[in-house]
Amino acid sequence: MKKKLAAEFPNGKIPGAIVLGGNFLGLGIARSLGSRGIPVWVIDADKSKSIAQFSRYTKRFIVTTESAHEVLLREGKLHDLQGWVVFCGSDDYVEELSTHREALSKIFHVTTPSLEVTRFALYKKRTYARAAELGIAAPWTWSGNSLLSLPEASIPYPVILKPAVNHHFFPLTNLKALAANNAAELHAGFAQMSKYIPPTEILVQERIPGNGENQFSFCGICSGGKVTDSLVARRRRQFPIDFGNASTFVETTDQSVVESGGRSFLESIGFDGMGEVEFKYDTRDGKYKILDVNSRPWGWHTLGKAAGVDFSYLLWRQRVGLPAMPAAERRHAAWIREITDVAAILKAYNRPTEIKVLLQAIRSRRMTFATFNFLDPVPFFAEIALLVTAGASRQKKAKEFLRDGVVEPLPKEALLKVRT
């Protein structure tokens, strides 16, 4: 496979790839590319979550808290990485590389679009504003500097409070949203979140009924602002089950409303790269409502490879200038996050049904795993060990936040800086 790929380049030299972030998301990129003979480096600021460092496909691992773009520029010049492809594994990396894209592009092929494009994904206020322009349904959402400007009678309880910029809040708390069933819970949650992010970055949003099984995603690769490859998937389970931090069981599906809405959103912003548009089906009015947009690889992107759309490899080929591959036959497939899906099943409202669906997927041999791989087994066992040593501290953040806010809030000067 490596020789065949090398033959597509005049000098026979295959450009490598650098993955920013080594958790299971980054591991999936490393495996997709590395298994084809593409050299892969992984850079991460948090060694305790970086299981990709243990992969046979990771040729070099760098752990550093230095700014990613500075590391990339230095390493690119030092090791002559001209033409290598850079992938982002988290929103904070997306924001940084979008900001410094011009300088980085002198050496690398950056898979992250410019900030003018990625802000429609990074900043949810812009996400919902663009959706409204396109006529795409969205949940009722409010934002403001104070709840005093929100009439109590207009609030459609139950609601959730969530950050307008997720990567400004989640790393501090390990939480993506707070539930509020009444005014007391809403005011308490708003006050607590205000300790960590500016009040204007807090969104109050109606809570759409249902759990993960009502969530769908359009996933695509865009070139020149047009979708070239795509699939639609359904999030069967997530953990926590109410509004999860991450998916745990995902299946490919067909849903024309999700496909057309996701496609039109990405193309409307001139997206160029690999993106996901998330929707949730509202049983009350029969509408699929946009929730979030990822302008980077998402957690279960490796489902695409099992389904016939290897997003990481297709994007790498696009960036290094190789011709597009013939469309592969689409296959129904499922993806499982092995460790957390066990917890999701145990917490499920209809446990026997969930177990039955899982067993059917396994028996049909259409299952792809987040971390376990017979050809690359070490990262799976490394993740178990890392969860034992570091996972508890991440869960502690969320528990302390929900209990009494013991976690240190942002410094006052950071709160005064409203990020737009």
CB 274 within 8 A of CB 92: no
Coil, strand or helix at 341:
helix
CB 361 within 8 A of CB 334: yes
Q: What mean pLDDT do residues 374-403 have?
A: 77
Distance of CA 158 to the CA centre of its chain: 26
Q: What is the DSSP string of 135-177?
A: T-----EEE-S-GGGS-GGG--SSEEEEESSGGGTHHHHS-S-
Whole-number pLDDT of residue 386: 86
**The two three-digit tokens of residue 407, written as one number:** 């976690």
Identify whether 240 is preceded by a cis peptide bond (ω within 30 of 0): yes
Whole-number pLDDT of residue 399: 63
Whole-number pLDDT of residue 353: 80
In this structure, what are the phi and psi dihedrals at residue 398, rounded to the nearest 5 degrees? Answer: -65, -45
- The dihedral over CA atoms of 10, 14, 17, 23, expressed in degrees to the nearest 10, equals 150
Coil, strand or helix at 269:
coil
Distance CA 166, CA 151 (A): 26
Neighbours of 309 (CB within 10 A): 23
Whole-number pLDDT of residue 335: 95
In this structure, what are the phi and psi dihedrals at residue 242, rounded to the nearest 5 degrees? Answer: -75, -60
Q: How far is CA 32 from CA 199, 302, 354, in A?
A: 41, 8, 29
Beta strands in 21-116 (DSSP E): 40-44, 58-63, 85-88, 109-110
Distance CA 333, CA 46 (A): 31
Would the pLDDT of 340 be above 80? yes
Q: What percent of the chain shows pLDDT beyond 70?
A: 91
Whole-number pLDDT of residue 15: 97
In 3D, which of 44, 88, 49, 46 has the Cα closest to residue 276? Answer: 88
Mean pLDDT, the chain, rounded, equals 90
Whole-number pLDDT of residue 390: 67
> What does DSSP say about strands 246-253 and 202-206: parallel, antiparallel, or unpaired?
unpaired
Neighbours of 151 (CB within 10 A): 9
Whole-number pLDDT of residue 225: 95
Whole-number pLDDT of residue 417: 37
- At 180-233, the pLDDT tens digits run 999 999 999 999 999 999 999 999 999 999 877 899 999 999 999 999 999 999
Lowest mean pLDDT among 19-28, 211-220, 337-346: 337-346
Would the pLDDT of 341 be above 70? yes
Residue 416 pLDDT grade (very low, low, confident, very high; cuts 50, 70, 90): very low
**68: CB partners within 8 A, 6+ apart:** 20, 43, 93, 96, 97
Would the pLDDT of 355 be above 90? no
Whole-number pLDDT of residue 343: 81
Whole-number pLDDT of residue 174: 84
Lowest mean pLDDT among 205-209, 295-299, 349-353, 363-367: 363-367
Q: What mean pLDDT do residues 116-131 have?
A: 98
Distance CA 220, CA 260 (A): 12
Q: What percent of the chain shows pLDDT beyond 90?
A: 74
The residue whose two tokens read 């380049």 is 9
- b/e sequence 73-111, b meaning 16+ C-beta within 10 Å: bebbeeeebebbbbbbbbbbbbbbbbebbeebeebbbbb
Partners of 18 in the β-ladder: 41, 86
Neighbours of 67 (CB within 10 A): 12
Distance CA 278, CA 214 (A): 11
In this structure, what are the phi and psi dihedrals at residue 392, rounded to the nearest 5 degrees? Answer: -65, -35
Domains in the chain (CATH in brackets) are 2-112 (3.40.50.20), 140-207+389-415 (no CATH), 210-376 (3.30.470.20)
- At 239-270, the pLDDT tens digits run 876 665 688 999 999 999 999 999 999 999 99
Whole-number pLDDT of residue 243: 60
Q: How far is CA 406 from CA 44, 163, 168, 413, in A?
A: 27, 19, 18, 19
- Regarding predicted confidence, which is higher, 363 or 299? 299
Distance CA 74, CA 67 (A): 11
Distance CA 16, CA 81 (A): 8
- At 37-79, the pLDDT tens digits run 999 999 999 988 899 999 999 999 999 999 999 999 999 999 9
In this structure, what are the phi and psi dihedrals at residue 382, rounded to the nearest 5 degrees? Answer: -65, -40
Whole-number pLDDT of residue 144: 94
Distance CA 16, CA 220 (A): 22
Would the pLDDT of 141 be above 90? yes
